[in-house]
Amino acid sequence: MLVLVINCGSSSVKYNLIESSEERDVCKGMIERIGAVTSIVKHEPVGKKHTKDARAISNHTEALQEILDYLLSPENKIINSPSDIKAVGHRVVHGGEMFKDSVLIDEDVENAIEQAFDLAPLHNPPNLRGIKAAQKNLPDVPHVAVFDTAFHHSLPAEAYLYGIPNRFYRRYKIRKYGFHGTSHYYVSRQYYKQIDKPVEDTKVITCHLGNGASLSAVDGGKSIDTSMGFTPLSGLVMGTRSGDIDPSILFYLVEKEELPLQNLHALLNRHSGLLGLSGYAGDMRDLIEEANNGDRRCQQAIDVFCYKIKQYVGSYIASMNGCDAIVFTAGIGENSSLIRKQSLQNMEYMGIEVDEEKNNNIERGKVQKISADSSKTDVYVIPTNEELVIAIDTAKIALAADQSPWV
């Protein structure tokens, strides 16, 4: 089934056209700077010429129209008619407490996504805008919402409750939700394919290390804890996000720097993390390069990043009373042997040993084991594919709903 996967940000739309039954990418692309004087439009059909150009795209509906026009154009011949697309899958960041699985979008679902605007003010509004724009352009096919939070629905109360008065949970649903769920789900499932053991008996720690970064403890196939929390700000140090800090620092800063409250949001989300620590960059490649040139602060930023991962790995081994495997994924996890090695250094006591040679000789895009033969815990690099999870879920739900016009 041909599924269009859409991921809408406030000024961008990313898309992937996927043949879900064959798990095959057909075309992907991105429109950035929507609403600016010139937007950037990229299309990357598999096995065909990629294009990138600049032109004005004023809103998400126009962006979706541009994507369809491109896919339909006789020159590109990617699809012959809009009806070739049988379903649309939407990445929705926050499903609140309501959604533990992907769902067919109807008015109630749209209202629930809107109700979660408060919980994810940067993500859910553009996600819903994308849903409405795609419905306008493809009105006759099922639209499905796949939530970043859904996989973490299995967290027990002791992992999701914060140590604040319980009425705030009851009143405002302040609790840990966790994010990157589709990625943690996907790589844990790819890991199960490598082993000959019932899923119920496995304990895995999945490390999604990209610009945003989180870890998840997956016990018996279910997420039982994760490092992001009420929002994607907590947990590990990230590109520009602080990760965990002592909340009192905020009161202190408000007083010392006379910072207005609204500036704290930008401080912690956009000016902290690797960027804030190094004063140079939030991008790991740039940091590694500068650290190699002798920059002390860039080296420190890398050290803090890795130390935090190590701490979470240790705590999740304690939470699960063991660990069969640690899985690295996403931009940094898949590509940086240095970060993988440093994050798991000196953990032999816990049975973790990375094999230097295997770690340094990774073939891109493949599932690979990088632990030493003597390591009690396996260590893997597994490329993530969130879009594929969205496409497969979407196809499943579209078929079940029996709404697809070709069924």
Q: In the complex, what is the shortest distance from the CB of residue 190 to ligand AMP, in angstroms, rounded to a whole number?
A: 16
373 is catalytic: no
Cβ proximity of 221 and 338 under 8 Å: no
Full strand arrangement of the beta sheet holding 203-209: 222-226, 213-219, 203-209, 325-329, 378-381, 368-369
Residue with Cβ nearer ligand AMP (154 or 385): 385
Q: Considering the complex, what minimum distance in angstroms separates the CB of residue 240 from ligand AMP?
A: 10
Cα dihedral 70, 76, 78, 82 sign: positive
Residue 287 C-beta: closest distance to ligand AMP, Å: 8
Q: Which stretch binds ligand AMP (CB under 6 A): 53-61, 64-72, 255-263, 329-337?
A: 329-337
Q: Which of residues 284-323 bind ligand AMP (CB under 6 A)?
A: 284-285, 288
Contact between 239 and ligand AMP per CB under 6 A: yes
**Residue number with the smallest Cβ distance to ligand AMP:** 331
Q: Which is nearer to ligand AMP, 78 or 281 (CB)?
A: 281
Q: Return phi, psi of residue 26, to 5°.
A: -105, -45
Site membership for ligand AMP, residue 87 (CB under 6 A): no
Of these residues, 101, 108, 148, 225, which one is catalytic? 148
Nearest in space to 379 (alpha carbons), one of 338, 328, 335: 328
Q: Which is nearer to ligand AMP, 244 or 286 (CB)?
A: 286
Out of 96, 130, 235, 331, point to the residue binding ligand AMP (CB under 6 A): 331
Scanning 2-10, 171-179, 332-340, 386-394 for contacts with ligand AMP by CB under 6 A, the matching segment is: 332-340
Q: Find the shortest distance in angstroms from Cβ 67 to ligand AMP.
A: 21
Strands 325-329 and 51-55: unpaired
Q: Binder to ligand AMP among 124, 127, 231, 335 (CB under 6 A)?
A: 335
Q: Any residues with CB less than 8 A from the CB of 180 and at least 6 apart, and which? A: 148, 208, 212, 214, 216, 226, 228
Buried b (16+ CB within 10 A) or exposed e, 149-183: bbbbbbbeeebbeeeeeeeebeeebbbbbbbbbbb
Nearer to ligand AMP, 116 or 284 (CB): 284
Q: Shortest approach of ligand AMP to residue 387 CB, angstroms?
A: 13
Q: Phi and psi for 299 in degrees, rounded to 5?
A: -65, -40
Among the listed ranges 51-59, 105-113, 194-202, 279-287, the one in contact with ligand AMP (CB under 6 A) is: 279-287
Q: Does 235 bind ligand AMP (CB under 6 A)?
A: no
Taking the least distance from each CB to ligand AMP, the nearer of 138 and 288 is 288
- Long-range CB pairs of 214-221 (<8 Å, 24+ gap) are 214/178, 214/179, 214/180, 214/184, 215/309, 215/312, 215/313, 215/316, 216/151, 216/152, 216/178, 216/180, 216/184, 216/188, 217/316, 217/319, 217/320, 218/184, 218/188, 219/319, 219/320, 221/188, 221/192
Q: Which is nearer to ligand AMP, 1 or 302 (CB)?
A: 302
What is the total count of residues that contact ligand AMP (CB under 6 A)?
12
Give the other-Cβ count within 10 Å of 40's Cβ: 16
Closest CB 17 distance from ligand AMP, rounded Å: 20
CA distance 331 to 371: 20
Q: Of 96 and 210, which CB lies nearer to ligand AMP in the complex structure?
A: 210
Of the candidate residues 61, 65, 76, 211, the single one contacting ligand AMP (CB under 6 A): 211
330 binds ligand AMP (CB under 6 A): yes
User: What single-letter DSSP state applies at residue 365?
Assistant: T
Question: Applying CB under 6 A, does 214 fall inside the site for ligand AMP?
Answer: no
In this structure, what token pair is assigned to residue 402? 């029996």
Quick check: 44 binds ligand AMP (CB under 6 A)? Answer: no
| Gap between the Cα atoms of 103 and 390, Å rounded | 11
Could you list the residues that contact ligand AMP (CB under 6 A)?
210-211, 239, 283-285, 288, 330-332, 335-336
The catalytic residue positions are 148
